[in-house]
Structure 1
Amino acid sequence: MTDDTTTGVPTTVDRGRFPDAVTPWEDPAWRAEALAWVTEGLAAHRLTETGARKVRLRPWSVLVRLTVAGPTTVWFKAVPPSAAFEAGLTEALARWVPERVLTPLAVEAPRGWTLTPDGGPVLWDVLQGLEGRAVDPRYWEEPLRQYAAMQRTLAPYADAIEALGVPTARPRALPALFDRLVAENTALTREDRTALEELRPRVANWCEELASSGVADSLDHADLHEKQLFAPVGGRYAFFDWGDALVGHPFSSLLVPALAARERCGPEVLPRLRDAYLEPWTGGGVTTAGLRRAVSLAWRLAPLGRAASWGRMFPVPPGGPAVPGDAEAAHWLRELAVAPPL
C-alpha cells in the first residue's frame, strides 16, 4: 500500500496481468482532476471518504473502490475515449430500466466517468461461496430471463442508445465490421486470413438471415459473465459494466453466459439455458423454431462484437509498452468458423 501523493490517502494499486498497461491514473494532473470530481460527487450525496482506496488498473478501465462513511462503498470508473459512451449509457439505463441496474451517484459523460454505489456481491461471489458443493445447473436461467426481458424493454430505445455513442453491430453492419477487424488485426497469420477470406461469403449470408429474423435490435451487453451482475435482491438481478456494449441483435448476448455455464456444468445445460433466455421473446410473431434459429446465428456472429471490444483501450504513447488486444481479437475472429452448439 502506498499513499496517493495527490491526496495522501492510503492507496493499493492492482494491475492484474497487465503490469505495463498505460492508463491516465499515472498522470498526476488527470488523477487530481478525477479525484476532485469524485469528492464533489460524494459531497452532493453528503458522503465523505474515510479510508483507504483500492485502485484496479487495466488497459480498458481505471476502477477505484472508495471507502466512505455509511453502510456501503462507492466506485469510481474511468474508461478510454473509445468506450466513453458507457457513462452516458449507465445514466440512461437508470432512467429506462431502473429495476435492472444501479443508479449512478454522478456521471461525467464526455469524459467517461461514473460514480456508483456498491451493488453487493456478484453472482461469481455466490458461486465461490458454495465451497465445493455442486453448482445448480440452472443458475443462469433466471438471470437470463430477467436480462432478456430488459433487452425487450430496451428495443424501442435502440436508436437512442446508438445516439449515446454505443457502437453499432446491427446484423447488416457486421460484414463491414468483419472486414475492418480482419484488415486491422496484426496477430492473424496468413493461414488465418485465407480461412477468414473463404468464410466471408457465409458470414454475409448469416448476417442477412439474422437481420430478417423478426427480432428487433436492442442493447447487447456483449460480456455478460458471472462478475457482471449482482446477486439477486428480492428475486431481482441487476446488471452492470457496459464498456463492451453494442447495439445489435440481442441474442448475441447469450454467448458469454452460455460459455460460462458450459464450463461449470457441461454442454447439457445449453438447451435449457437457451429456452430460458427465449421465454421473454415469445409472442412477438416469431415461431419457436425461428427464435432458436436466430440464437444459432447470433451465437455464430457474436465473436465479431467480442473482437471489436478489444480495440477499446487507453491509447499508448509511441514507443510505449505493447497493449494486448490484437491477439484476443484474433482468437474471436477464428471462433467465427466454429459451429454453434445450439
Structure 2
Amino acid sequence: MRHESSVVVDRGQYQDAVTPWEEESWRDAALGWVESESAARGLRVTGDWRVRLRPWSVLVRVSVQGRDAVWFKANPSASAFEGPLTAALARWVPEHVLEPLAVDAARGWSLLPDGGELFRSVLEREPVKPSTWEALLGQYADMQHALIPHTQEIEQLGVPSARTAALPDVFDQLVAENSTLRPDDRRRLDDLRPRLADWCTELAALGIEDSLDHSDLHDGQLFHPRPDRFTFFDWGDAAVSHPFCSLLVPARTACERYGHDVLPRLRDAYLEPWTGTGRTTADLRRAVSLAWRLGALGRACSWGRLFPAASDASDALGAEECVRWLLELSNDPPI
C-alpha cells in the first residue's frame, strides 16, 4: 500500500532516538488511521509522507490531493493530552487555535489541518517590527484570560497541574527525580528552595488566577496566517500554572532578535489584557518578574515528556536540560 520511496524521514540531531515509528506494526496502524480519518472527511491522501522524528513526538506531513497538507502527530504518554486539549481549545477559543480533524486520545494521536505560514518563516523572509511581537503577546494573553474559567476542565484532560501555590512541590519532585544532579548543583538548589517558596507565596498573593501556560511559545510554535492574526499550537509542554510564566520563552526569543531594550514594550503589551482588575501597574509588573523566574520550572518539567526508551542519549539530554532550567531559577529576571 505504501512505498518507502515516498517516505522522507528527518531525525534532526537525534539520530539515535527511539520512537514508535521504528515499530512496523505501529507505523502501519498510524498511517492507516491517517488515511481512514482523512477519507472520512473527503480527503484523498497522495502517499507522500514527510516524517519528523524527535524523542518527544512523531510528526508527519501528509500530502492531500487538491488542498493544503494535513499533519499527523503522535505524543508520548506524558503528553498524550495534547490532542484532547487542542480539540477543547478549538471549542473554547476557536479564533486562537487550530481545530483538529481527528483525535485518538487513547493512542495520543492527532490529525491537524495546515495552519499557514510559521511566524519563524515570516521572520526569516522579511523584517518584522517589535510591534508585531506586541500584537502576538496581547492576543495570547487574551486567550489565557478567556481560559481561566476552564482550568479544572483542562486538568481533567490530563494536562499537568502546576498551579502557582504548588510550584514548590513541583520543584521538589524535579530535584528528587533527577539522577544527574552534581552535588554542588544539588546544594545550590537546596539553598534556593526557601527563596522559591517565598516567590510563589508572593506571586499567589497578587491574586492573578492560574490559566494555561504553553511553556514553550517560541516563533516556531505559532502560525502567522495574516498580518493581524496568530494561531497558537503545539501544546505538548503545556501545564495549568500562572499565566505569566508563558512570557519567558517568547520574550527571550524576541530579545535575541532586537536586544533587551524591547522587553518593557513586550511586557506591557502582554499585560494590557490583565489591567482593569483592581491591580496596579506595579503589581502586574512585579508578577511578571516573579513568573519570569518561575517559568523555568515549566521548561524543566517538559524535558520529562519523552517516549519511553527514547534512547540513553536522549534520556541523558532530557535530564541535563532539566538541570539547566532548574539552575536558571537563581538568575535575576531582566525585568
TM-score (norm 1): 0.95
Give 1:188-203 correspondences, 5 Å limit. Answer: 188-203=181-196
| Deviation sequence 1:138-185 (CA, Å, 0-9, x none) | 331000000000000000001110110000111111111111111111
1:38 to 34, 41, 60: 34
One-letter amino acid matched to 1:91: A
2-structure distance, mates of 1:36, 1:171: 42
1:258 matched to which residue of 2?
Answer: 251
1-structure distance, mates of 2:203, 2:109: 35
| Deviation sequence 1:222-261 (CA, Å, 0-9, x none) | 1000011111436221100000001010000000000001
1-structure distance, mates of 2:202, 2:33: 47
2-structure distance, mates of 1:66, 1:300: 39
2:96 matched to which residue of 1?
Answer: 100
One-letter amino acid matched to 1:7: R
Do residues 156 (structure 1) and 149 (structure 2) align? yes
Give 1:186-265 correspondences, 5 Å limit. Answer: 186-233=179-226, 235-265=228-258
1-structure distance, mates of 2:227, 2:187: 52
2-structure distance, mates of 1:160, 1:21: 33
Q: What stretches of structure 1 of length at least 5 have no aligned partner? A: 1-5
1:120 to 116, 122, 142: 116
Do residues 274 (structure 1) and 270 (structure 2) align? no
2-structure distance, mates of 1:171, 1:209: 10
1:325 to 318, 327, 335: 318
Q: Give secondary structure in 1 for the equivalent of 2:131.
A: coil
1:85 to 64, 81, 86: 81
Q: CA deviation at 1:137?
A: 2.7
2:23 matched to which residue of 1?
Answer: 27
TM-score (norm 2): 0.97
| Deviation sequence 1:66-107 (CA, Å, 0-9, x none) | 001122000000010000010110110010011101111100
One-letter amino acid matched to 1:160: E
Identity fraction in percent = 59
One-letter amino acid matched to 1:221: H
Q: Give secondary structure in 2 for the equivalent of 1:141.
A: helix
Task: Write out the 4+ residue segments of structure 1 that deviate beyond 6 Å after TM superposition.
Answer: none
Q: What stretches of structure 2 of length at least 5 have no aligned partner? A: none
One-letter amino acid matched to 1:25: W
Q: CA deviation at 1:51?
A: 4.0
2-structure distance, mates of 1:215, 1:322: 36
1:8 matched to which residue of 2?
Answer: 3
One-letter amino acid matched to 2:93: V
Q: Give secondary structure in 2 for the equivalent of 1:102.
A: coil
1-structure distance, mates of 2:260, 2:296: 19
Change (3 A) 1:125 1:234: closer
CA contact (8 A) 1:154 1:218 kept: yes
2-structure distance, mates of 1:120, 1:186: 41
Do residues 75 (structure 1) and 68 (structure 2) align? no
1-structure distance, mates of 2:161, 2:270: 22
Q: CA deviation at 1:40?
A: 1.3
2:105 matched to which residue of 1?
Answer: 109
1-structure distance, mates of 2:119, 2:180: 33
Q: Alpha carbon RMSD of aligned pairs, Å? A: 1.4
One-letter amino acid matched to 1:118: D
Larger relative helix fraction: 2
| Deviation sequence 1:276-305 (CA, Å, 0-9, x none) | 000011112211111111101100111011
1:302 to 276, 295, 303: 295
1-structure distance, mates of 2:64, 2:145: 36
One-letter amino acid matched to 1:95: R
Q: CA deviation at 1:36?
A: 1.3
1:54 matched to which residue of 2?
Answer: 50
Q: Give secondary structure in 1 for the equivalent of 2:8.
A: strand
Q: Give secondary structure in 1 for the equivalent of 2:223.
A: strand
Q: Give secondary structure in 1 for the equivalent of 2:180.
A: coil
Q: CA deviation at 1:120?
A: 1.1
CA contact (8 A) 2:163 2:210 kept: yes
CA contact (8 A) 2:116 2:225 kept: no
CA contact (8 A) 1:138 1:269 kept: no
One-letter amino acid matched to 1:48: R
1:63 matched to which residue of 2?
Answer: 59
2:135 matched to which residue of 1?
Answer: 142
2-structure distance, mates of 1:28, 1:17: 23
1-structure distance, mates of 2:122, 2:37: 31
Q: Give secondary structure in 2 for the equivalent of 1:244.
A: coil
